A and B are shown apart, each in its own frame.
Chain A
Amino acid sequence: MAFTKKVTLKSSDGELFIIDRAVALQSRTIQYVLEDTNPVDAIIPVPAVDARTLSKVLEYCKKHLIDLNTDFEDYSKWDKDFVDAEVWMLYDLIMAADYLHIPPLIDLICDKIASMFKGQTPDKIREIFNIDNDFSKEEEEDFKKKSGWAFK
């Protein structure tokens, strides 16, 4: 009964998550661990992801496993709500999705972040994403000279 098999994941802050093997298999990283070592009832550590983020990622994996037959619109609505999150949460999520290697989740978050750039000035983007401006005044002037239309 392969499908009812459970897998235990351990977050960086020590919390245990007991989930269906099929849910865990959506992460290619975990898939490789399971294929390589085939641990029976063993705990798989996920040292790069904390409990709060891991539970959110697993929520995504569960939804996308169960609802494979849901029609496209329902699905995209759920996805849209899922990434309607604070910027720091998106950061943690994309780092976790990258570490766990879940391509559809990575795409979903990238799409969300790109949509937050729409029509924003570089200053506003730096503010939203907490990024230091490491360009000199001259370089900034140069951008405006070359492609001034994009900064109006």
Chain B
Amino acid sequence: MSHTDWSNLPKELIELIFDELQHAGDIIRFGTVCRFWHLVALEARQQVFKPLRPLSPMLLLPPNKDDEAHKLYDFFEKKAYKIQIPAMRDKWCCSSWNGWLITINRTLPYEICCLNPISGVQIHLPPAITFEDSPPDPEETPIEFFLNKVVLSSTPSPSNATCVIMAIHSNYNKLAFCKPGDERWITLKSEDIQYKDLLYYKDNFYAIGRLKVVQCDIGNDPRVIPFAPLPKMGRLEHRYLVESSDRLLYVLRYMDLKDKEDPSKLRYETTSFKVFDLDSDKRKFSDRYETTTFKVYDFDFDKKKWKRYP
């Protein structure tokens, strides 16, 4: 019994339903049900100022050598879809942020783009040659190594003047930023170099320096401001800044040689994690962060299973 025609539902209600969808596939299919819903989906996509909602994560896998198609691995359905992304041709994907890929072109002037692989939307950023430390000769260092990590403050769009893009770049891993429509990247003044990780957290960018976490000041005199000293740790670790349940966490991933008999193979594996919690008032990292809401998983591609780290 369905005497009701759902396409007659007021637009505001359809928008609210659309806002509840959590899977990229559902979002796309929603827009192909009827013209009216198509319009709602289209308009919602353009409203970049809406707060981001968490979508179910998917992994984008690179194409095989003989096949131009990428694969999209869906954790929810546990299957991989082939996806054609024509805009990825001749480009290297150096970072990803909330469903957007940050790509760099392999030829001069090394154009940089934010690309949404699902919608196909591309936002052009200033090319890599506009960095103060522009890419070195590709014979020396391949362009694939130029951008280390790129983080956005909000969804990029030509009309979103508040969107800031921050990048760890060059052989020195310096920090620089731009906005869509800018002509060049602006390097932050800093005594330190070799920044490790970058995060946008509560209206500020934070980065991991050698001995401290810094905050990025992108005002008239763009520079880094020391924020909190880092706990001293051993070697052979990867360091990350992570946001979880509104907290800023500092995560260390310890590595060790996989094959101790033959160290020349240089194969490493993760051995353990340590998590620290930042007290933003005292600007100090606490001892080990204990929580049930933060867990670290490792994805095993062969078995298609997650393994939880203790």
Residues of A within 8 A of B (CB): 86-88, 91-92, 94-95, 98, 106-107, 110-111, 113-115, 117-122, 125-126, 129-135, 140, 143, 146-152
Tell me, in angstroms, the Cα distance from A121 to B120 when the chains sit together.
Answer: 21
Q: A151 touching B84 by the CB < 8 A rule? A: no
**Interface contact B6-A106, CB-CB below 8 Å:** no
Please judge, given known A-B contacts A88-B2, A148-B84, whether A114 and B34 are in contact too, CB under 8 Å: no
Q: Name the prevailing secondary structure of the A interface residues.
A: helix
Known: A88-B1, A92-B4. A131 touches B13 (CB 8 A): no
- Distance between Cα atoms of A70 and B4 in the complex (Å): 35
| Stretch binding the partner chain, chosen from B25-33, B173-181, B191-199, B246-254 | B25-33
Q: B interface, how many residues as a size bin?
A: 35 or more
Give me the 3 closest cross-chain CB pairs, A-B, nearest first.
A114-B20, A149-B81, A129-B6
The contact string, 1 if C-beta is below 8 Å from chain A, for chain B 175-210, is: 000000000000000000000000000000000000
A117 and B13 form a contact (CB under 8 A): no
Are A131 and B81 closer than 8 Å at their CB atoms?
no
- Complex contacts, B164 vs chain A, CB 8 Å: none
Contacts of B30 in A (CB 8 A): 117, 125
- Check A140 against B32 for contact (C-beta < 8 Å): yes
Tell me which residues from 1 to 57 in chain B have a Cβ below 8 Å from any Cβ of chain A: 1-7, 9-10, 12-13, 16-26, 28-35, 38
- Nearest-CB residue, chain B, relative to A120: B29
Chain A proximity mask over B80-91: 1 for CB below 8 Å, otherwise 0 = 011110000000
Is the CB–CB distance between A135 and B4 below 8 Å? no
Residues of B within 8 A of A151 (CB): 29
Q: In whole angstroms, what is the CA distance A130 to B17 when docked? A: 16
CA distance A150 to B117 in the complex (A): 12
Task: Please report the C-alpha to C-alpha distance between residue A149 and residue B84 in the assembled complex, in whole angstroms.
Answer: 9
Residues of chain A within 8 A (CB-CB) of B22 are 114
A94-B9, A132-B34, A149-B81 are known; give 13 further A-B pairs, CB within 8 A: A88-B2, A88-B3, A110-B13, A110-B20, A114-B26, A117-B30, A119-B23, A120-B29, A125-B33, A126-B34, A131-B34, A143-B31, A150-B81
Is the CB–CB distance between A87 and B34 below 8 Å?
Answer: no
* B17:A110 contact, CB within 8 angstroms: yes
Residues of B close to A117: CB separation below 8 A:
21, 26, 29-30
Least CB separation from A87: chain B residue: B2
**Is the Cβ of A106 less than 8 Å from the Cβ of B20?**
no
CB neighbours (8 Å) of A126 from chain B are 33-34
- List of A residues within 8 angstroms of B31 by Cβ: 143
20 A–B contacts, CB within 8 A, in A order: A88-B2, A91-B9, A92-B4, A94-B9, A98-B10, A98-B13, A113-B20, A114-B22, A115-B20, A117-B26, A119-B25, A120-B29, A122-B32, A125-B29, A131-B6, A133-B33, A135-B32, A147-B118, A148-B84, A149-B72
**How close is A50's CB to chain B, nearest CB, in angstroms?**
12
